[in-house]
Amino acid sequence: MSILAISHQMGSGGAEIAQLVAERMAYRVVGSMEFGELVVRYGLTADRATRLGEAKPPLLERLSAETRLYLAVIQSALYEFAEQDNVIILGRGGQWLLRGIPHALRVRIIAPFDARVKHVSLALAHGAQSANPDAVRDLVQRDDVDKRGRARYLFDSELDDPTLYDLLLNMERFENAAAVAVLERLLKFPELESGPTGSQMVADRGLAARVRVALAAADDTRRHKVDVEARAGIVSLAGTSGLKEAAKVAREVPGVRSVETQLIEIPPIPPVMM
């Protein structure tokens, strides 16, 4: 029982490869639709969750409490799916959010730009949509820019940083079947079998994410920046203000056994020497 997190460039075949692996190994693929259905349970709209899950929001939107809530929900949803195991998570920052999880395989699927444009053009033509070459090139290029911007905004990292992945697949020379064969074999390795330690790590991160959602949704806490960690039901909160209100909100989250707080002191600004 493992988790496969796939980050892929548009037109690289990543979604198709994920579906083929799922069919061969009885895994579940989790993409935009599945994330959208889950965030609706929080009373949010699926369309906006999908958009924020794929691109960096505009500057003014980034500053809103509603955007922070949406992003917290997207991360919480990822961990909820990850707790199920035997799941393939497409995008949504799995390469960052699942770092250190022993039974998670993080993969990046890429291909040369022109090959990806051709792939997307064929897909659009197959769907009886317009496949203007210039428009397709713009579409693929814009998707690359959006995803890189989202990576910097959310994780302060470069999307193509190879250290974020266990495996990088360049599909320039290979058919999808080759990638499927590689992934199927890797997922059967004993190193990727889920165990108590890895399952607890995912559960802890999931609980911390649910607490962040609750803090982002509550009127008394949404304006405060509070760092959240969880371990076996014990939640630790750290921040410069609002900890009393945050602790009260956190205690109401299902799965929280107790709450610890740490006030972070801000050192005084030294006087300007003239």
Rounded Cα–Cα distance for residues 40 and 49 (Å): 9
List pLDDT tens digits, range 70-110: 888 889 999 999 998 899 999 989 999 999 999 999 999 99
Rounded Cα–Cα distance for residues 57 and 67 (Å): 8
On whether both 162 and 250 belong to a single domain, the answer is: no
On whether both 74 and 177 belong to a single domain, the answer is: yes
On whether both 175 and 228 belong to a single domain, the answer is: no
The interaxial angle of helices 46-54 and 65-82, nearest 10 deg, is 80
Residue that terminates a domain, selected from 135, 157, 192: 192
Q: For residue 116, what pLDDT band results from cuts at 50, 70 and 90?
A: very high
CATH number reported for the structural domain that contains residue 173 in this entry: 3.40.50.300
Question: Which of 37-41, 93-97, 155-159, 249-253 is the least confident region?
Answer: 37-41
What would the mean pLDDT of 245-253 be, rounded to a whole number? 96
List pLDDT tens digits, range 10-33: 999 999 999 999 999 999 999 888
* CB 19 within 8 Å of CB 56: no
Rounded Cα–Cα distance for residues 157 and 151 (Å): 6
Is 119 a member of any domain? yes
- Report CA 177 to chain centroid distance, whole Å: 26
Is 200 a member of any domain? no
Q: What is the structure's pLDDT at 177? A: 96
List pLDDT tens digits, range 176-200: 999 999 999 999 999 999 899 999 9
What would the mean pLDDT of 243-253 be, rounded to a whole number? 95
For all residues of the chain together, what is the average pLDDT?
A: 89
- DSSP characters over 103-140: TEEEEEEE--HHHHHHHHHHHHHHTT----HHHHHHHH
Q: Which residue has the higher pLDDT, 35 or 47?
A: 35
Is 268 a member of any domain? no
Report the 10 Å Cβ neighbour count for 66. 13
- Check residue 86 and give left, alpha or beta (phi > 0: left; psi -120 to 50: alpha): left
Q: For residue 264, what pLDDT band results from cuts at 50, 70 and 90?
A: confident
CA dihedral 30, 31, 34, 39 (to 10 degrees): 120
Residue that terminates a domain, selected from 157, 192, 227: 192
Rounded Cα–Cα distance for residues 94 and 75 (Å): 9
Q: What is the structure's pLDDT at 221? A: 92
Q: What is the structure's pLDDT at 254? A: 95
- Report CA 264 to chain centroid distance, whole Å: 28
What would the mean pLDDT of 62-76 be, rounded to a whole number? 79
On whether both 161 and 231 belong to a single domain, the answer is: no
Rounded Cα–Cα distance for residues 188 and 48 (Å): 36
* CB 249 within 8 Å of CB 221: yes
Q: What is the structure's pLDDT at 32? A: 84
Q: What is the structure's pLDDT at 128? A: 57
Question: What is the extent of the structural domain holding 120?
Answer: 3-192
